[in-house]
């Protein structure tokens, strides 16, 4: 069997390229057939105490959820966090998913208004995903601030 592969290296290489090409094309086509959807929801969290460092804490929570700061307005007390699958992954695998969290601090950081936007195909742009993102964000934030 090894003799076959060694004597037909070019044929094996061409077959491997062909198989990879078919696999990638199939993934892209499957992704194109899956409808892209989006959902936007508004949520709120009330904290026991005001926190001067709340934007820094929110940034840390975002990082723990693989989100990057995509916008910051310190005077207005607004921070935006986001992630996405990127163009390369979308093209290669046919899957697209992104999520964004915008947090507006009110009452010196004691109250947080949270807007969550999820978008993507294969069921990633629906209310249930937004609720899951919010619940994870809330749980991690409350752990950090020690809210009861």
pLDDT of residue 136: 97
Contacts 24+ apart (CB under 8 A), 127-131: 127/39, 127/41, 129/39, 129/99, 130/39, 130/40, 130/41, 130/99, 131/41
| pLDDT tens-place string over residues 63-108 | 999 999 999 999 999 999 998 655 444 445 567 788 999 999 998 8
pTM recorded for the entire structure: 0.72
Let me know whether 9 and 74 are in one domain.
no
Let me know whether 76 and 114 are in one domain.
yes
What is the 8-class DSSP label of residue 107? G
Let me know whether 136 and 102 are in one domain.
yes
| First vs last C-alpha separation in the chain | 66
Length of the chain: 148
- Give residue 26's pLDDT band: very low, low, confident or very high (50, 70, 90): very low
Residue 46 structure tokens: 């009330």
Domain boundaries, position 9: 2-31
Mean pLDDT of 106-117: 92
Let me know whether 92 and 57 are in one domain.
yes
Let me know whether 39 and 24 are in one domain.
no
pLDDT of residue 91: 47
What is the 8-class DSSP label of residue 38? E
Let me know whether 99 and 62 are in one domain.
yes
Q: What is the mean pLDDT of the chain?
A: 80
| pLDDT tens-place string over residues 48-67 | 998 889 999 999 999 999 99
Mean pLDDT of 25-51: 76
């Amino acid at each position: 069997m090894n003799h076959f592969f060694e004597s037909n290296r070019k044929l094996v290489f061409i077959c491997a390229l062909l198989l990879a090409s078919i696999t990638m094309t199939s993934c892209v086509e499957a992704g194109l057939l899956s409808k892209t959807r989006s959902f936007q929801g508004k949520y709120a969290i009330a904290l026991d105490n005001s926190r001067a460092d709340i934007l820094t804490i929110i940034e840390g929570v975002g990082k723990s959820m693989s989100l990057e700061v995509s916008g910051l307005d310190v005077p207005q007390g607004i921070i935006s966090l986001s992630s996405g699958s990127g163009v390369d992954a979308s093209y290669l695998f046919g899957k697209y998913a992104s999520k964004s969290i915008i947090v507006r601090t009110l009452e010196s950081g004691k109250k947080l208004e949270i807007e969550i936007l999820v978008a993507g195909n294969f069921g990633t742009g629906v209310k249930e995903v937004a609720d899951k993102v919010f619940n994870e964000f809330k749980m991690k934030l409350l752990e950090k601030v020690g809210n009861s």
